[in-house]
């Protein structure tokens, strides 16, 4: 009932979320040459940011015109896209 107690749980969730977001970069730095680290980190960041910008730019149009203002269908499209991507990943060959 005390809002201040909720602040403590929000702090814990925020710290956990920050570590989750930083983990891919930490994993990536272990396998990159130090003289090209900035280049590869920038390219990796492109693959995170460009889909976010694209979704923000066109998803509103899709929700309005294709999904009849039902945003749940955009969520369904995202889930289906993840399933398709997961299927495609099974066909990627590892060179090890």
**Residue labelled with tokens 């979704």:** 55
Q: Where are the domains of the chain?
A: 1-31, 34-96
Per residue in 31-62, pLDDT (tens digit) is 889 899 999 999 999 999 999 999 999 999 98
User: What pTM value is reported for the model?
Assistant: 0.61
**Dihedrals phi, psi of 2, to nearest 5 degrees:** -95, 120
* Res 40: pLDDT: 92
> Residues 59, 74: contact at Cβ < 8 Å?
yes
Q: Distance between CA atoms of 24 and 83, rounded to whole angstroms?
A: 21
Q: Distance between CA atoms of 62 and 4, rounded to whole angstroms?
A: 40
* Res 30: pLDDT: 87
> Residues 64, 79: contact at Cβ < 8 Å?
no
């Amino acid at each position: 009932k005390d809002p201040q107690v909720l602040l403590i749980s929000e702090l814990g969730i925020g710290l956990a979320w920050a570590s989750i977001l930083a983990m891919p970069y930490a994993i990536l730095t272990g396998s990159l040459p130090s003289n090209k680290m900035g280049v590869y980190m920038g390219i990796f960041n492109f693959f995170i940011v460009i889909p976010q910008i694209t979704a923000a730019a066109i998803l509103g149009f899709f929700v309005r015109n294709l999904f009849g203002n039902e945003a749940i269908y955009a969520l369904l499209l995202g889930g289906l896209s993840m399933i398709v991507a997961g299927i495609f990943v099974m066909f990627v060959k590892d060179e090890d």
